[in-house]
């Protein structure tokens, strides 16, 4: 792609997105972040030019979200009605031709996405994660670095897998649930919970109605 792209979010996660854009030889038009202390600074040659909240909701152009937090990505995606959300696949990722990847999703270096996987919109498949055949990832989900999903795992909207977590074949993880780093999913996990450990057990239940209504705030993840 030769067109310029707008990057939304200028924190740590943005470093990986920006380096992926460089490896894809894509040009960055500007980076936006709500933390004024970042304005004017550069990251890998891309300038942080202003706030996200100051952008026109009817802004047009190619864009990618560089925000690790699933709820904030959800909020931002609903705010901008006319942006074209690009999907990024690092050249060192493997994506089987039968897999599909939704708009706004990013696949980082070392990730492996096998046959007939379906990845929704605005998902993150982080470095070295492996997603085996027939998995389905809901919109806004984030599969952390080094996560291994066996075949046929279903990941609900907005669910998050911490670094190194594992799910055995065919398990379901509910929407907006959080799997702690290193957790091993051996049974289905319901919606809106945190599960940790080996095997993973539910340790927290979240308040469902507060889920997507995250204020636009400084994006530091």
Q: Which residues bind ligand COA (CB under 6 A)?
A: 68, 126, 144-145, 162-163, 178, 180-183, 194, 196-197, 203-204
Q: Which of 52, 48, 39, 46 is nearest to 21 (CA)?
A: 46
**Which residues on neighbouring strands pair with residue 154, listed in sequence order?**
136, 172
Smallest separation, CB 68 to ligand COA (Å)? 6
The helix (H) or strand (E) run that includes residue 201 is strand 201-205
Smallest separation, CB 161 to ligand COA (Å)? 8
Q: In the structure encoding, which two tokens stand for residue 24, read together? A: 């894809």
Smallest separation, CB 61 to ligand COA (Å)? 27
Nearer to ligand COA by C-beta: 30 or 182?
182
Nearer to ligand COA by C-beta: 170 or 197?
197
Map residue 28 onto helix, strand or coil.
strand
Considering 74, 133, 142, 206, which one is annotated as catalytic? 133
The reply to whether 122 belongs to the active site is: no
Return the half-sphere exposure (C-beta side, CA atoms, 13 A cut-off) of residue 1: 17
Smallest separation, CB 160 to ligand COA (Å)? 7
Nearer to ligand COA by C-beta: 109 or 163?
163
CA distances for 88 relative to 115, 125, 175, 218, angstroms: 18, 10, 23, 24
Nearer to ligand COA by C-beta: 6 or 200?
200
Q: In the structure encoding, which two tokens stand for residue 62, read together? A: 């190619």
Q: In the structure encoding, which two tokens stand for residue 147, read together? A: 């996560």
Query: What residues are labeled active site?
Result: 133
């Amino acid at each position: 792609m030769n067109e310029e792209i707008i990057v939304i979010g200028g924190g740590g996660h943005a470093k990986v997105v920006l380096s992926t854009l460089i490896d894809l030889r894509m040009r960055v038009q500007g980076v936006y972040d709500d933390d004024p202390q970042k304005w004017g600074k550069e990251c890998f040659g891309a300038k942080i030019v202003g706030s996200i909240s100051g952008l026109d909701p009817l802004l047009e152009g190619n864009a990618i979200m560089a925000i690790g937090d699933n709820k904030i990505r959800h909020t931002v995606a609903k705010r901008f009605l006319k942006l074209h959300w690009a999907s990024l696949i690092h050249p060192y990722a493997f994506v089987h031709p039968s897999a599909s990847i939704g708009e706004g999703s990013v696949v980082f270096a070392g990730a492996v996405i096998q046959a007939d996987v379906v990845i929704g919109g605005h998902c993150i498949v982080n470095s070295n994660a492996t997603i085996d055949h027939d998995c389905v990832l809901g919109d806004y989900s984030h599969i952390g670095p080094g996560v291994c999903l066996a075949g046929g795992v279903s990941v609900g909207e907005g669910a998050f897998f911490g670094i190194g977590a594992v799910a055995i074949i065919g398990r379901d993880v509910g929407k907006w649930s959080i799997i702690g780093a290193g957790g091993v999913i051996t049974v289905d996990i319901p919606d809106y919970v945190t599960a940790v450990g080996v095997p993973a057990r539910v340790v927290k239940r979240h308040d469902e109605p507060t889920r997507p209504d995250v204020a636009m705030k400084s994006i530091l993840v």
